[in-house]
Structure 1
Amino acid sequence: MSAKLALLVALGLFAAFYLAVLVRGARQARQRTGDRGTATPAGVATGFVTNFFDTLGIGSFATTTAIFRQWRMVRDERIPGTLNVGHTLPTIAQAFIFTTLVPVGAKTLIGMIAAAILGAWLGAGVVASWSRRRVQIGMGIALIAMALIMAWRTGVGDPTGGNLLELDGALLVLALAGNFFLGMLMTLGIGLYAPCMILVSLLGMNPKAAFPIMMGSCAFLMPVASARFVREQAFDVRAALGLLIGGVPAVLIAGLIVKSLPLTVVKWIVVVVVLYTATTLLLAARKREASEALGQPAPVPNEPGVATP
């Protein structure tokens, strides 16, 4: 069995593991709240739109966060978990479609994926226990970083990179450390795709090598991160199911039929929206801190069905 085939088999096993975790978590949430957790049309539409553009290179975490906050679909402290749980299956579908397209050295591919998984496991354990204010600050900073990376990629372009499809020695160590850190950031809601593309290019790899690395990394790390978020019940069941149900067909359409679109204008719009969302998160955290300092009840921003103060 080739390394790539073994990787795809393992990906199938991770998908089965994720589905088992999701079903158990949804049942626990139903027992705890009495809510059946049915996906809403708005959640399904969000999953379709964000995963369609994710497959074409826009990214889904930042755009989904902006939608969640604008329409108050998910409480702030549950957004990181909902992003990871809801976008897992669409990301696995992306990995199945694209991993076979680019030949990447097995040692580099598997090593970087394993590093991202470990980073996500450790990061999810931390983020799942964070307070709403800490999540707001963390996501606000992460989204600003994501917007700057996206603006740079759109305006200047990625580093030209080289022709390497395999890394060794110090370069491999840097690649593993970088993907470990990116895996941790995934749990805060900053997507791995754009920074991973930059990482592999700076290390002298062929930029096309980023696709199996970044999609494989996300496809393997997200079930692991999701398991911790589900265990802590730090996600919104309805919203996560909406992302899953809408996301899988969107990936199939974008990856197998559409394949590419001129997206420059869309990318600049996303940059503006993400910066706006980051600003609102940081302002909400500041209001919460001020209220707590005065001994007043903390504001409850973007709770579903509750107007933002």
Structure 2
Amino acid sequence: MILRLIQIVLGILLVYVAIIFGRDLIKHKHQSDGSIPVATGIGFVTNFLDALGIGSYAPTTLLLKATKYLKSDKLIPGTLTVACSIPVIVEAFLFTNTIKVEGPTLISMVVAAGVGSAIGSKVMTKFNEKIVRIVMGIALVATAVLMLLSQLGVLSALGAGNTAIGLHGINLVIAVVGNFILGALMTAGVGLYAPCMALVYMLGMSPAVAFPIMMTSAAVLMPIASYEFIKSGNYNRNASLGITIGGVIGVAIAVLFVKSLDLNVLTWLIIVVVTYTGLSMLYQGIKQRSESVQQANADESTESDPK
């Protein structure tokens, strides 16, 4: 029953995000903001990796920066959210075949993530480029740390011996509040998978329940957050279209044909590059903010001491 309900909700959200995204593409069909084939390649690679457990947000940010695809870093959060929405829903459909978690726990955590993303997306669309750079810089460094902990086996160690498939009382409240925060942070570029996994493990839940919770949370919150980014135009349309197309293909191939792949070396490489990119964006954002403050002070000094 829970599985059927989840599939219905995911189906509705898939149609919803396809409609609002499609309408916006048609409305701006004469505008060109990047190569769709390049974005398709990016989407294929990053969502292929996502289906194999690495995640898509950090690699997508890396490739968008490496190809200089976006004219402004302000567009990164919205592009990530809109572009990965449909591939993640498809991934959830293909992966979440069994639900090994109590219904109230799953539903409450998923709803919390969705509400958090709705609020987070409203906040992110109001930030200027320098603030987005600082936020994205922190998000990427945090992602690199979580990837490192996962690679070292720290996250999986948290779940060792856990058997619970549901939460109650104060633990459920903590889980709901935690997933609300993670839903909001995902709109800023912090991937939800690793921190959600850590949250579930620390609350004593079995590793078997982590996947349906984090996968369903991501699949639900991203279409919800996409509305605000599409409405405000704070995303790259061609990049989102290409990544969506490539992402669906990448997920399908990874899930249906590639059951496992040794990604150890690649994961370590991504951790290093994500850390560098995050620190670079953080430095650029802080430097840009400092220059703005200095300019504002200089302007104020000129106005107060006219000659």
User: Equivalents in 2 of 1:201, 1:215: separation in Å?
Assistant: 15
* 1:247 matched to 2:244: no
Partner AA of 2:256 in structure 1: L
Q: Can you give the 5+ residue segments of structure 1 that lack an aligned partner in the other structure?
A: 297-309
| Selected match of 2:110 from 70, 92, 113 | 113
Decide which moves more: 256-265 or 267-276.
256-265
* Cross-structure match for 2:305: none
Q: Can you give the 5+ residue segments of structure 2 that lack an aligned partner in the other structure?
A: 297-307
Residues 1:6 and 1:156: Cα distance change in structure 2 (over 3 Å): closer
* Cross-structure match for 2:48: 52
User: Equivalents in 2 of 1:256, 1:69: separation in Å?
Assistant: 30
User: Equivalents in 2 of 1:235, 1:256: separation in Å?
Assistant: 30
Cα deviations across residues 64-107 of structure 1 (Å, max 9, x unaligned)?
11111122111200000000000001100111011123421111
Partner AA of 1:289 in structure 2: R
* Cross-structure match for 2:96: 99
* Cross-structure match for 1:301: none
Matched-pair contact (CA < 8 Å) for 2:77–2:189: yes
* 1:262 matched to 2:262: yes
SS of residue paired to 1:53: helix
Q: Give 1:198 deviation, angstroms.
A: 1.0
Matched-pair contact (CA < 8 Å) for 1:29–1:233: no
Matched-pair contact (CA < 8 Å) for 2:179–2:196: yes
* Cross-structure match for 2:132: 135
User: Equivalents in 2 of 1:166, 1:290: separation in Å?
Assistant: 47
* Cross-structure match for 2:286: 286
User: Equivalents in 1 of 2:164, 2:244: separation in Å?
Assistant: 35
Matched-pair contact (CA < 8 Å) for 2:40–2:247: yes
Matched-pair contact (CA < 8 Å) for 2:2–2:99: no
Please list, as runs of the form range in 1=range in 2, the aligned pairs for 1:166-245 lying within 5 A after superposition.
166-245=166-245
* 1:164 matched to 2:160: no
* 1:153 matched to 2:157: no
Please list, as runs of the form range in 1=range in 2, the aligned pairs for 1:10-29 lying within 5 A after superposition.
10-29=9-28
Partner AA of 2:47 in structure 1: N
User: Equivalents in 1 of 2:28, 2:163: separation in Å?
Assistant: 48
Query: Over alpha carbons, which structure has the higher Rg?
Result: 2
Decide which moves more: 257-266 or 74-83.
257-266
Using the aligned pairs only, state the percent identity: 40
SS of residue paired to 1:94: helix
SS of residue paired to 1:167: coil
* 1:125 matched to 2:122: yes
Q: Give 1:163 deviation, angstroms.
A: 1.1
Q: Give 1:165 deviation, angstroms.
A: 1.1
* 1:275 matched to 2:275: yes
| Selected match of 1:88 from 78, 82, 85 | 85
SS of residue paired to 1:165: coil
Q: Give 1:116 deviation, angstroms.
A: 0.2
Matched-pair contact (CA < 8 Å) for 1:38–1:241: no
Matched-pair contact (CA < 8 Å) for 2:36–2:239: yes
User: Equivalents in 2 of 1:70, 1:290: separation in Å?
Assistant: 25
Partner AA of 2:61 in structure 1: T
Matched-pair contact (CA < 8 Å) for 1:128–1:228: yes
Matched-pair contact (CA < 8 Å) for 1:140–1:279: yes
Matched-pair contact (CA < 8 Å) for 1:39–1:241: no
Q: Give 1:130 deviation, angstroms.
A: 0.7
User: Equivalents in 2 of 1:289, 1:17: separation in Å?
Assistant: 37
Partner AA of 1:51 in structure 2: N
User: Equivalents in 1 of 2:28, 2:280: separation in Å?
Assistant: 29
TM-score by length of 2: 0.91
Query: How many positions carry a matched residue from both structures?
Result: 292
Q: Give 1:44 deviation, angstroms.
A: 0.6
Decide which moves more: 43-52 or 98-107.
98-107
TM-score by length of 1: 0.90
